[in-house]
Amino acid sequence: MVILVLSAKAGINLPESIFDLIALDKLGHFAVYAVLSGAVLWGNHKNELPLNRNTVITAVLLSSIYGIVMELMQYCFFPGRYFEYLDIIANIIGAISGFALYKYMYIKFT
């Protein structure tokens, strides 16, 4: 829900460049989707220890697909919001990194 609200909120469109990949905006995308996929995995770990490969792949894919859908929705439905390929890349890298976040939390807190 938080991602939906942040994605729908009007923002500024900055020009894309190769250096935009490390912009603060991209770090925000990375962090939010890392937390999303990490939280999905953490929520599932009580039901299934250890998590099987399919659960991990599903969590990462769902988080990545949600990020892609949010970018498409910004383009189609939210005035003042813009579609950016680099945001999608940051979302996917963040979703994959969420698995690392989950593993860290699992080792640290269990």
Look at residue 54 and tell me if it is in a domain: yes
Look at residue 32 and tell me if it is in a domain: yes
> pTM value?
0.81
Residue ranges of the chain whose pLDDT lies below 70: 8, 10-22, 48-49
Reference 101, options 28, 41, 27; nearest CA is 41
- Give the Cα separation of 1 and 30 in Å (integer): 17
Instruction: To the nearest 10°, report the CA torsion of 7, 10, 11, 12.
Output: 140
Look at residue 1 and tell me if it is in a domain: no
Number of structural domains in the chain: 1
Report the pLDDT value the prediction gives residue 3, as an integer from 0 to 100: 78
What range does the domain containing 48 cover? 17-109
Look at residue 10 and tell me if it is in a domain: no
Report the pLDDT value the prediction gives residue 11, as an integer from 0 to 100: 61
Report the pLDDT value the prediction gives residue 59, as an integer from 0 to 100: 93
Look at residue 56 and tell me if it is in a domain: yes
Look at residue 4 and tell me if it is in a domain: no
End-to-end CA distance of the chain: 28
Report the pLDDT value the prediction gives residue 25, as an integer from 0 to 100: 82
Q: What is the DSSP string of 52-77?
A: PHHHHHHHHHHHHHHHHHHHHHHHHH
Look at residue 43 and tell me if it is in a domain: yes
Look at residue 5 and tell me if it is in a domain: no
- Give the Cα separation of 1 and 47 in Å (integer): 23
Report the pLDDT value the prediction gives residue 1, as an integer from 0 to 100: 77
- Give the Cα separation of 66 and 36 in Å (integer): 10
Report the pLDDT value the prediction gives residue 66, as an integer from 0 to 100: 95
